[in-house]
Amino acid sequence: MDNRAIHLIMFTLSAILSLAIKLNREVYIGINGGLDVLLGLVMSYLYIVILVSGYVTFAHSVTNRKLSNCIISITCGALLWEIHQAFIPEMYFDWKDMVATLMAFTALMLIQHYKPVGNSEHGSVAIGKG
């Protein structure tokens, strides 16, 4: 399975899961403290996965360098947004969201390392041989 297929599956499943959580989160809040934390963390994790997977899925051409830069940029943006919330009275800073963001970063970088999007010679998406 090539990298685009992996990211298409991740994009689809993450989008469906985040939509399901967003629509039903109020039903599950207050049942269990651990569940409340998990529901909050999953959204931060899925945010990064959806953006990066969407980029790989829908971009015309993706190179390993572009994808690495994309993962780093989106992660930095999400972390800066979380830090920014600490300075806005109406917002809520949660260090656990930062941990979830870093976990998504780690998972995506591992996928990138073990299943790169293309070869460095051509700078385009690898075509599966088989």
In the prediction, which pLDDT does 61 show? Answer: 84
pLDDT digits (tens, 9 = 90+) for 82-109: 999 989 888 888 888 999 999 999 999 9
Q: How confident is the model at residue 33 (pLDDT cuts 50, 70, 90)?
A: low
| DSSP characters over the chain | --HHHHHHHHHHHHHHHHHHHHHHHHHHTTT-HHHHHHHHHHHHHHHHHHHHHHHHHH-S---HHHHHHHHHHHHHHHHHHHHHHTT-TTS---HHHHHHHHHHHHHHHHHHHHS-SB-TTT-SBPPPP-
Residue 121 lies inside a defined structural domain of this protein:
no
Residue 30 lies inside a defined structural domain of this protein:
yes
In the prediction, which pLDDT does 121 show? Answer: 40
What average pLDDT does range 117-122 have in this prediction? Answer: 52
Residue 90 lies inside a defined structural domain of this protein:
yes
Residue 78 lies inside a defined structural domain of this protein:
yes
More reliable by pLDDT, 79 or 118: 79
Percent of the chain with pLDDT over 70: 84
Residue 16 lies inside a defined structural domain of this protein:
yes
**Domain count across the chain:** 1
Residue 129 lies inside a defined structural domain of this protein:
no
Residue 17 lies inside a defined structural domain of this protein:
yes
In the prediction, which pLDDT does 68 show? Answer: 92
Residue 70 lies inside a defined structural domain of this protein:
yes
Host domain of residue 21: 3-114
